[in-house]
Structure 1
């Protein structure tokens, strides 16, 4: 009998093949003369995830609409984040979406956005009611686990927190979640919209944690599409114009409502917990 992790791996393998076939068929028929764009992302619900062997999610649906409105032939691929970032930097007409626009990355890409993101918050285990965070200075008294290379590593360093003391980095996927669950560090960083899916990876549910503080930093103000610098500026402008138009037409509002509702249905109390951290409101 397949467990959830094995089933997800099978879904991902099938999805990679399926998306490649569909994308190439689209490019060779209906949009043969359109400019080509390869778009990478990772599995990161509710922004991008696999459902019934199909890539979907709030930002994936936005990107599909942008490609159609800009008359671009787009191929979508799901890869581990580091691999996706590496390919985007190396390939002309490539992009990576649902990524943070940091100072370090600013000059490496052309940017389209913001797409949809959530508010970043710090969470504690319910039993740890001794933890009190009233400012970033309070974080000097606690330990936080983050994924190595994640934008949160930069954010915490900017708050004058020291790696190895106030925050610990992990290279293995979900390791910071496992350590948090075991009480090996005090706090976990999560987005108000992604917390539920994060915790599910280690057999936890949102009702086991309590939000204690919202993190505010320039790098946490939104998700973006980052495009290789060899992409035509005309393509960049078309995509940004299409996104601005979608926002004016309130089309993104309906997508957010759709996928946040689905996430709540799939993972229990996701929206309820998110409401404790700025009502789970989306940023875009």
Structure 2
């Protein structure tokens, strides 16, 4: 009787393991326009309540790779970061692939850039070779943002706005000469307030953004997802998605 119970327990455990292996991958993200956004503007959403550049790319990637998934947007970032770091079958996007994170996750990407840039009106004659060259100009930045803090620490004394999108209109009105923002976030925010005639005059920092997966996600799944993304880039899908939002 005891042996039968042991065999039955082993069989149940084996079945449970297979079932977990077949479960959809749990994908987590945050509000980070235009890459990831809740459609209702709130800090919690699921599945079809989420859109954005990275969201559309990730959906298509998993579809082509034949990997089932669920998608949740929530706050704060640190919470979902730790959840993916410690929980098998989980992934998070978009995340900057940095040296200190390299060995903590498995990576699929890049999905897109997160560059720090200086924007100017399309007809501006400003030319910059370095951040130091921008010192003589009025630079708008977002109050409390890492980019604005970086410029302040460099002694550039940016003009700070309470909302980053306000800098797009200040730039067009001539109230500032340059706008320090992220790419593509700056262009997206500008488009939301009807400003499209901008150009990048300097890139001074940045990283590539990826889908980061828990270390226990099988290598074969990672390979399928990476192959799907490369195919999407080759056939123009990724470019089309960026153009749709920007």
For Structure 1 versus Structure 2, the TM-score category normalised by the shorter chain is 0.5 to 0.7
- Identify the residue that residue 29 of structure 2 maps to in structure 1: 41
| Residue 240 of structure 1: aligned partner | 226
For residue 57 of structure 1, report the CA deviation from its aligned partner: 2.4
Q: Is the 8 A contact 1:133 1:212 kept in 2?
A: no
Cα distance in 2 for residues equivalent to 1:178 and 1:249? 33
CA gap of 1:176–1:245, structure 2 versus 1, over 3 A, is same
SS at match of 2:110: coil
**Equivalent-residue separation in structure 1 for 2:140 and 2:28 (angstroms):** 29
Separation (CA, whole Å) in 1 of partners of 2:81 and 2:142:
19
Structure 1 residue 63 displacement after superposition: 1.2
Alignment equivalent of 2:81, drawn from 76, 82, 85: 85
- What residue ranges of structure 1 are gaps of 5+ in the alignment? 1-30, 264-284
With the length of structure 1 as denominator, give the TM-score of the two structures. Answer: 0.56
1:194 to 170, 173, 185: 185
> CA offsets per residue over residues 60-102 of structure 1, 9 Å max, x none?
1221122223332211111236233333223222222122222
* CA-CA distance at 1:45 after TM superposition: 3.4
Q: Please say which structure displays the higher CA radius of gyration.
A: 2
Distance 1:95 1:165 in 2: 39
Q: 1:111 to 1:251 in 2, by over 3 A?
A: same
Partner SS state of residue 61, structure 1 = helix
Distance 2:133 2:55 in 1: 37
* CA distance in structure 2 between the partners assigned to 1:125 and 1:253 by the alignment: 24
TM-score with structure 2 setting the length: 0.62
Q: CA deviation at 1:109?
A: 1.9
Counterpart of 1:45 in 2: which secondary structure? coil
Alignment map for 1:145-160 (pairs within 5 Å): 145=141
Between the two proteins, the alignment pairs up a number of residues equal to 212
**Unmatched 5+ residue regions in structure 2?**
1-18, 41-47
Provide Cα deviations, 1:181-204, integer angstroms capped at 9, x if missing partner: 8989x742221x332543589xx6
Match of 1:54 in 2: 49
Structure whose residues are more often strand by fraction: 2
